C-alpha cells in the first residue's frame, strides 16, 4: 500500500540516495588522500571537496524539509540483491525494496550531477583580453 505522496517520496528518496553519494565521495576522498593514485592529486581532491560541500548543503535543505513534513527514512535490511528502507510520514509507514544495482545507478546519477554542478560553479573563464 502506498501512503507517501509523490512529493514526499521524491524528497525522501533524494535524501536517501544523496546520503549514499556523500558516503561514496567521502570514501573516495579518503582513498585519494592516502594512496595518491594520480601523479597530481590536488585537482581531484579539490573536485571531491566541492562535491562534498554541495551535497552536504543540499542534504541540509532536504533534512529541513523532511523534518517539517515529519518524514523519515530508516534502513531496514541489506541482502545480496535487494535493500529495504522504511519511509515514515505523519505516522504512516511504507516499506520499499530497492534492487542494489538500481541503487548504484541512482547514486551514480547523483554523483554525475554533483560533478557537473562543481564544474559549472568553479569553471575557469577562457577569455583572453587584448
Record the pTM.
Answer: 0.87
pLDDT for residue 43 is more than 80:
yes
Summarised one tens digit per residue, pLDDT across range 4-42 is 888 999 999 999 999 999 999 999 999 988 888 878 888
pLDDT for residue 82 is more than 60:
yes
Closest CA to 19 of 90, 80, 70, 83: 83
Quick one: pLDDT at residue 129? Answer: 45
Quick one: pLDDT at residue 123? Answer: 55
Quick one: pLDDT at residue 3? Answer: 78
pLDDT for residue 122 is more than 70:
no
User: What percent of the chain has pLDDT above 70?
Assistant: 92
Mean pLDDT of 68-93: 92
Amino acid at each position: 500500500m502506498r501512503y507517501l505522496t509523490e512529493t514526499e517520496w521524491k524528497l525522501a528518496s533524494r535524501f536517501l540516495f544523496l546520503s549514499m553519494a556523500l558516503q561514496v565521495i567521502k570514501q573516495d576522498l579518503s582513498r585519494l588522500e592516502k594512496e595518491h593514485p594520480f601523479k597530481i592529486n590536488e585537482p581531484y581532491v579539490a573536485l571531491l571537496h566541492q562535491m562534498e560541500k554541495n551535497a552536504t548543503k543540499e542534504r541540509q535543505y532536504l533534512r529541513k524539509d523532511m523534518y517539517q513534513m515529519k518524514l523519515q527514512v530508516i534502513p531496514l535490511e541489506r541482502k545480496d540483491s535487494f535493500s529495504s528502507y522504511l519511509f515514515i510520514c505523519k505516522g504512516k509507514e511504507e516499506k520499499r525494496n530497492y534492487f542494489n544495482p538500481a541503487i548504484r545507478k541512482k547514486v551514480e546519477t547523483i554523483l554525475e550531477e554533483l560533478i557537473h554542478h562543481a564544474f559549472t560553479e568553479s569553471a575557469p573563464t577562457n577569455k583572453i583580453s587584448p
